[in-house]
Amino acid sequence: MQEKEKGLNRRQFIKWSVGAVGLAAALTTPLLPVINQARSAGSSPETPAKEAPAQPDKKKRAWCMIIDLKKCEGCVTIGAPPQCTMACINGHFTPKGQQWIQVFQVELSNGGKFFMPTPCYQCENAPCVNVCPVAATYHNEDGLVLIDHDRCIGCRFCMAACPYQRRFFNWTVPELPPEAAFAEYSPLYPVPARKGTVIKCMFCGHLLHDGKLPLCVAGCPMKALYMGDFDSDMATNGAEVVPLRQFLKENDAYRYKEALGTQPRVWYLPGHGQAFGRTTDDPREFKTPVWSWGGDGFEPRPGIWPWGKEIK
């Protein structure tokens, strides 16, 4: 018995050390290159004098996202589906029909409309975390709301509890492109999606500590999305770095359905794409996202017996 345990430990030790070497290799690549780049470009005059810590990968963070609706024009200018959604779909192989960041067209009382991209809000008082019976949904130390897909029993109580409908369920085995199979699963990077479990946006937690921006933030051609960290009080959209709290204050930031008390970590800066000349009655058509690998998603419903249509 003793022997066996030792053997196991040795094996684990080898595994870990290999992993550690790999991790160290990954970490030697420049950290927070985007923020540093942006800072060296000196695009923001308000850049705080104090430098960001040298080893941000180890540091606890308080991530948040800022969505500047003044700049979001639903990608109608480039006549394409919303690029944030497309970046997320292609980067995470999200099953067809799941838009982890979905761009809603919100009607205004004056008859016009504006666009509202909605990722999971990573609520601080998250109803979905509260109700999960097996702690499959949890807060990590950076404040992200993650899902452990090895734990989730698929009760969908969290979906009932989420007041923003930001959770999705893998109703059957999802149709994914072949390359999805090579992805290495972690709750921070839930790829490939698994049948019978709940899935959602996780703020691209797998990229943040490597100093990379979330795919949707990087993918937005209008630079309307910012990733921020309350601990270092900075946010960036990849082109500029802004002092987070001041930026929120100066731009009348609000959170969606603030009154519910869920305390989302996503702030909106009110607007309707005016930064790119869009008016609220802009007639240009919004394009819905497409899945390059095709398939029916979870759409087909089973036929009457005898089994009408095979669902894949």
Partner 1 sequence: MRTRAESYEQRLERVVLNPLSQTTRGYKLFVLSLLAVVGWGLYAYYIQLRYGLGATGMRDVVMWGLYLVNFVFFIGISHAGTLISAILRVTQAGWRTPVTRMAELITVVAISIGALMPLIDLGRPERVWELIAFGRFQSPLLWDIVSITSYLTGSLIYLYLPTIPDFALMRDRLGYYANPVKRLIYTVLAVGWRGTPEQHRRLEKAIGIMAITIIPIAISVHTVVSYVFSMTLRPGWNSTVFGIYFVIGAIFSGIASILIVMAIFRKFYHLEEYLTERHFRNLGYLMLVALFIYLYLTFGEYLTVAYKMQVEEKHLLETLFVGSNALWFWFFVIAGLVIPALIIILRKGPVIPRMVIAAVLINIAMWIKRFAIVIPSLQVPLMPFDFGAYYPTWVEWSITAGAFAGFILIFAIFAKLVPLISIWEVAEGARETPQPRVATLVEQSGMKPEEIEALLSKAVAEKGRSRVEQ
Report the interface residues with ligand SF4, using CB under 6 A.
87-88, 92, 100-101, 119-123, 126-128, 131-132, 134, 136-137, 145, 147, 152-158, 162, 164, 166-167, 198, 200-204, 214-216, 262
Interface pick for partner 1 out of 27, 80, 116, 188 (rule CB under 8 A): 116
- Least separation in angstroms between CB 132 and ligand SF4: 3
Measure the CA–CA gap between 254 and 269, rounded to whole angstroms: 7
Based on the shown chain and the rule CB under 8 A, indicate whether residue 107 belongs to the binding site for partner 1. Answer: yes
Based on the shown chain and the rule CB under 8 A, indicate whether residue 267 belongs to the binding site for partner 1. Answer: no
Contact between 199 and 167 under an 8 Å Cβ cutoff? The reply is yes
3-state secondary structure of 69: coil
Measure the CA–CA gap between 66 and 241, rounded to whole angstroms: 12
Question: Bridge partners of 186?
Answer: 189
Map the footprint of partner 1 across residues 149-208, applying CB under 8 A.
151-157, 159-161, 163-165, 167-173, 195-198
- Least separation in angstroms between CB 210 and ligand SF4: 13
CB atoms within 10 A of CB 2: 6
Measure the CA–CA gap between 232 and 62, rounded to whole angstroms: 9
- Given the structure tokens 């809000």, which residue do they identify? 121
Looking at 26-34, 99-107, 179-187, 212-220, which segment touches partner 1 (CB under 8 A)?
A: 99-107
Q: Which does 106 bind (CB under 5 to 8 A by kind): ligand SF4, partner 1, none?
A: partner 1
Residue 165's Cβ-count burial label (10 Å; 0-12, 13-18, 19+) is: exposed
Helix (H) or strand (E) holding 147: strand 145-147
Contact between 205 and 144 under an 8 Å Cβ cutoff? The reply is yes
- Least separation in angstroms between CB 99 and partner 1: 10
Looking at 48-56, 82-90, 146-154, 244-252, which segment touches partner 1 (CB under 8 A)?
A: 146-154
3-state secondary structure of 120: coil
Return residues touching partner 1 (CB under 8 A): 97-98, 102, 104-107, 116, 118, 127, 130-135, 151-157, 159-161, 163-165, 167-173, 195-198, 260, 262, 298, 301-302, 304-305, 307, 311
